[in-house]
Amino acid sequence: MTVPQRPPLLPLDDALSRLLSFADPALSPESVPVGDADGRVLAQDVVSALHVPPHDNSSMDGYALRCADAAVPGVQLPVAQRIAAGSSGTPLQTGTLARIFTGAPVPLGADAVVMQEECLVLPNGQGDADRPQVQINAQPTPGQNIRRAGEDVARGDVVLSRGQRLGPAELGLAASIGMASLTVARRPRVALFSTGDELVMPGSVAPQDMPPGAIYNSNRFFLRSLLRRMGCVVSDLGIVPDQREATVQALREAAQAHDVILTSGGVSVGEEDHIKPAVQSLGTLDLWQIAIKPGKPFAHGRIGDAHFLGLPGNPVSSFVTFLVLVRPFLLQLQGARNVAMTTVAARADFTWAKPDKRREFLRARRNANGGLDLFPNQSSGVLTSAVWSDGMIDNPPGCAIAPGDAVRFVPFSEVLA
């Protein structure tokens, strides 16, 4: 009997391209207060209606003057006015200066600000009592210590673009131009559940009482956390009984109220489970074998308007596959402009002598010498590797690594934000 040959493993870039082709940004926009928009994706450009700063202002505490009045160091000038941030001065008269503070508007006629450390306030009795004299001990240049109006943002500038994911700096910039709310994509609604009679919830059974073959459900917890960091509204449906009808019912109900259904486990080729036939009975399902390690089995399907995403069951495989496939999918679903995984060049301080024929994602962390150390056990079931590491090395197929080699490093800080 001829054994049917399995199709070749799908390169990760091809799998990602295929997956993203299904992720049409279709989430309706909504308006949210700026303070609540962290992590959200802009659905329309943000245009400034004013200059930032709105007027020429001083970048430090000191004295505003005309450079022509202080052409040589040691000149003494009377203080004609005092200008603090939030107030406005009067035009500066020739031969005088203004005491000025950081952020205060530069008076008309002044063309420089001399920092107070380069000035000497003369003792009482030298000059008018109401107009103390100040000695300028440095020669100013035009524009010195002045922040120009519109230097940061000009009126009419697009300061934040549609598809941009918002972080603390972006929220501050929006507030600086007077935005009280922003139009962003609706949060994806994601249903998360697990299947498998071997799964036990932490707290339901003490470690010493675990029955043979039982394991605690760890994937559910890190997947829920990852989804929430992606800005998703998560419905945790728990552990679905390992029965065909229960699985079909859970999928049918999840598809009615969610944009995405995410599961882990039960997507390996030839594996007996209820997820595959249940999804196929309700919609469509494609099983992919992807040329990555850890990982490989992955599923995408549709049940009504909801996407179905199936991850491998081993915890590190599920963790890595989420980062390289599900994360960009969810970002694009929200209309994000940049969904690519960021890599940085780093130096390997280890030996990897037996590379796999698949593209590998090796858990590693930076060391005090600026290089990378490798976690000693790269098994897909060793979740401690993801805790010990601060990123993963994106290693091409069949590529051995020697100390000193340059590698592509994916910091977790870039993909877990």
Q: Which stretches of 120-265 are DSSP H helices?
A: 168-176, 219-229, 244-257
Angle 277-218-378 from CA coordinates, rounded to 5°? 95
User: Phi first, then psi: what are they for 152, rounded to 5°?
Assistant: -85, -55
Q: How many CA atoms lie within 13 A of 26 on its CB side?
A: 12
Q: Provide the pLDDT for residue 206.
A: 84
The conformation of residue 324, written as its DSSP 8-state character, comes to I
Q: Provide the pLDDT for residue 246.
A: 86
Compute how many other C-beta atoms are within 10 angstroms of the C-beta atom of residue 149: 18
Q: Provide the pLDDT for residue 254.
A: 94
Q: Provide the pLDDT for residue 8.
A: 85
Angle 186-189-190 from CA coordinates, rounded to 5°? 145
Q: Provide the pLDDT for residue 212.
A: 86
**Measured in whole angstroms, how far is the alpha carbon of residue 250 from the centre of its chain?**
32
Q: Could you give the domains of the chain?
A: 12-26+187-333 (3.40.980.10), 36-47+154-185 (3.90.105.10), 57-147 (2.170.190.11), 344-415 (2.40.340.10)
Structure-token pair, residue 403? 């100390």
| pTM assigned to the model | 0.84
**pLDDT means per 10 residues in the chain (417 residues)?**
69 96 88 96 96 94 97 94 92 96 96 97 68 93 96 94 96 96 97 79 82 81 94 89 85 95 76 77 93 94 95 93 97 94 96 96 98 97 96 97 98 91
Q: Provide the pLDDT for residue 114.
A: 98
Q: Provide the pLDDT for residue 271.
A: 52
Please state, in angstroms and as integers, the Cα–Cα distance from residue 281 to each residue in 192, 252, 284, 350, following that order. Answer: 19, 10, 8, 49
**Measured in whole angstroms, how far is the alpha carbon of residue 175 from the centre of its chain?**
19
The sign of the dihedral angle between the CA atoms of 123, 126, 127, 130 is: positive
